Amino acid sequence: MSRTSADAPDFGEAFRARFADLVAWRRDVRRFRPDPVPEDALRECLGLACLSPSVGNSQPWRFVRVSDPDRRAAVTASFSRCNEAAAATYDDARASAYRGLKLAGLREAPVHLAVFCDEGTEAGHGLGRATMPEMLRYSAVTAVHTFWLAARTRGLGVGWVSILCPEEVTAVLDVPPEWGLIAYLCVGYPAEEHADPELVRHGWQARHEPGATILER
């Protein structure tokens, strides 16, 4: 049933404060407890992710839950290879710092989710993509972020693993060739809670002040 403006919620000051807390405490989690993730909580988060905005209402996101141990092991092996290759691109001091970082929770996380963009979808009839075809992938990214926030409201942590070979992951998961990998997510209950990003805490990269990235013309 279609809703009208009379049904629109009032997001008051208290809600805005809580939303600010949610955004501030959303972390890229790499350390997970072994506790299983309730199935209903995971489904609710995925359902909210599917309400994300998308170009032409194309809804191109495709979520693949990776439960098979052999497929998980293959993804973890891809991470290990790519991680070592990335470390080799830095000078000695930075490489040492890099190797000291924990950059994925692939072995600990109870849930693995691969997020793809169906780049062959006919949904949306191409609206909004003629000049910026990348908007299809950007739409899938919005679903990742919505899922991330939804998971946080349920006490779950999410880690986005990008140190992977997309072609290897796509082959391991046996998905259609027109699906492009957007994100590989580790999901579970965090082993620890921090308001600051891990890369800030371990001296890799400080946060910019918002004024440094907001311009006027």
69-115 pLDDT per residue, tens: 999 999 999 999 999 999 999 999 999 999 999 999 999 999 999 99
**How confident is the prediction for the chain on average, in pLDDT?**
95
User: Residues 144-187: pLDDT tens digits?
Assistant: 999 999 999 999 999 999 999 999 999 999 999 999 999 999 99
| Residue 105 confidence (pLDDT) | 95
The Cα–Cα gap between 150 and 143 comes to 10
Nearest residue to 23 (alpha-carbon basis) of 133, 150, 142, 181 = 150
Beta strands, E only, the chain: 61-65, 111-118, 157-161, 179-188
Residue 204 has pLDDT above 80, yes or no: yes
Could you tell me the residue ranges of all domains in the chain?
30-191
Residue 5 has pLDDT above 80, yes or no: no
**Confidence band for 195, pLDDT divided at 50, 70 and 90:** confident
Tell me if the pTM is above 0.75.
Answer: yes
| Residue 2 confidence (pLDDT) | 67
Residue 1 has pLDDT above 70, yes or no: no
The structure tokens listed for 97 are: 């710092």
Candidates 1.20.120.160, 3.40.109.10, 3.30.70.1150, 3.40.30.10; correct CATH number of 30-191?
3.40.109.10
The Cα–Cα gap between 197 and 18 comes to 19
